[in-house]
Structure 1
Amino acid sequence: MPAANRVYAESSASLMTAELGVFNQAVLGGSIEEVAVETIGGVPYLTFNAAELSEQAVRYLSNLSSIFALFRLAEDGGLYPVPLTKLDRLDDDLLTIQKYAGKTNEHFTKMLLNATIMSTASPEAMIERTLRVFDPMCGRGTTLNQALMYGYDAFGVDIDHKDFEAYSGFLRTWLQRKRVKHTIDAGPVRRDRKLLGHRFEATLGLSREEYKAGEKRQITLVNADTLASEDFFPAARFDVVVTDAPYGVQHGSRNAGGLSRSPLSLLEDAVPVWARLLRPGGAIGISWNTFVADREKAVEVLAGHGLEVFDDGPYRGFRHRVDQSIMRDIIIARKPL
Structure 2
Amino acid sequence: MSRYGLLILPATNRVYAQSAVDLTRAELEIFSRSVLGGRIGGLGTATVGGARYVTFEADGLDARDAALLGNLSAAYALFEFAGELMRPVDLRRLDRYDDDLITIQKYVGKTNEQFTKLLLNVTLLGSAWAGELLERRFRVLDPLCGRGTTLNQALMYGFDAAGVDRDQKDFEAYRAFITTWLKQKRIKHRVLESGPVRRERKVVGRRLRAELAPSKDAHKAGDVQLLDVVNADTTRTGDFFRPGSVDLVVADAPYGVQHGSRTADAGLTRDPLALLEAAAPVWATVLRPGGALGISWNTNVARREDAATVLADTGLTVLDAEPYLALRHRVDQAIVRDILVARKPD
TM-superposed CA distance for 1:315, in Å, is 0.4
Verify: 1:274 aligned to 2:279, yes or no. no
Query: What does residue 50 of structure 2 align with?
Result: 42
8 A Cα contact 2:95 2:158, kept in partner: yes
Matched pairs, number = 336
Verify: 1:232 aligned to 2:240, yes or no. yes
Aligned partner letter, 1:100 = Y
Verify: 1:177 aligned to 2:177, yes or no. no
Distance in 1 (alpha carbons) for counterparts of 2:20 and 2:88: 21
**2:277 aligned counterpart, secondary structure:** helix
Query: What does residue 339 of structure 2 align with?
Result: 330
8 A Cα contact 2:263 2:274, kept in partner: no
Aligned partner letter, 1:235 = P
Aligned partner letter, 1:226 = T
Query: What does residue 126 of structure 1 align with?
Result: 133
TM-superposed CA distance for 1:134, in Å, is 0.2
Distance in 2 (alpha carbons) for counterparts of 1:199 and 1:142: 17
Query: What does residue 110 of structure 1 align with?
Result: 117
Q: Map of 1:38-187 to 2, 5 A cutoff?
A: 38-74=46-82, 76-184=83-191, 185-187=193-195
Distance in 1 (alpha carbons) for counterparts of 2:320 and 2:110: 27
By percentage of residues, which structure has more strand? 2
Verify: 1:299 aligned to 2:308, yes or no. yes
TM-superposed CA distance for 1:84, in Å, is 0.6
Counterpart of 1:265 (choices 274, 280, 290) is 274
TM-superposed CA distance for 1:2, in Å, is 4.8
Query: What does residue 296 of structure 2 align with?
Result: 287
TM-score, length of structure 2 as denominator length: 0.95
Q: Map of 1:8-19 to 2, 5 A cutoff?
A: 8-19=16-27
- Alpha-carbon RMSD: 1.1
Distance in 2 (alpha carbons) for counterparts of 1:189 and 1:14: 44
Distance in 2 (alpha carbons) for counterparts of 1:34 and 1:331: 25
TM-score, length of structure 1 as denominator length: 0.97
Distance in 1 (alpha carbons) for counterparts of 2:130 and 2:103: 27
Query: What does residue 229 of structure 2 align with?
Result: 221
Distance in 2 (alpha carbons) for counterparts of 1:256 and 1:61: 43
Query: What does residue 210 of structure 1 align with?
Result: 218
Distance in 1 (alpha carbons) for counterparts of 2:79 and 2:336: 32
Distance in 2 (alpha carbons) for counterparts of 1:214 and 1:255: 39
Distance in 2 (alpha carbons) for counterparts of 1:321 and 1:188: 39
TM-superposed CA distance for 1:43, in Å, is 0.9
The Cα offsets for residues 77-107 of structure 1, whole Å up to 9 and x where unpaired, read as 2010001110000000000000000100010
Aligned partner letter, 1:161 = Q
Distance in 2 (alpha carbons) for counterparts of 1:290 and 1:77: 43
TM-superposed CA distance for 1:121, in Å, is 1.1
**2:94 aligned counterpart, secondary structure:** coil
TM-superposed CA distance for 1:253, in Å, is 3.0
**Unmatched 5+ residue regions in structure 2?**
1-8
TM-superposed CA distance for 1:212, in Å, is 2.5
Aligned structure 1 segments of 4 or more residues deviating by more than 6 angstroms: none
TM-superposed CA distance for 1:265, in Å, is 1.2
**1:146 aligned counterpart, secondary structure:** helix
**Unmatched 5+ residue regions in structure 1?**
none
Distance in 1 (alpha carbons) for counterparts of 2:212 and 2:91: 26
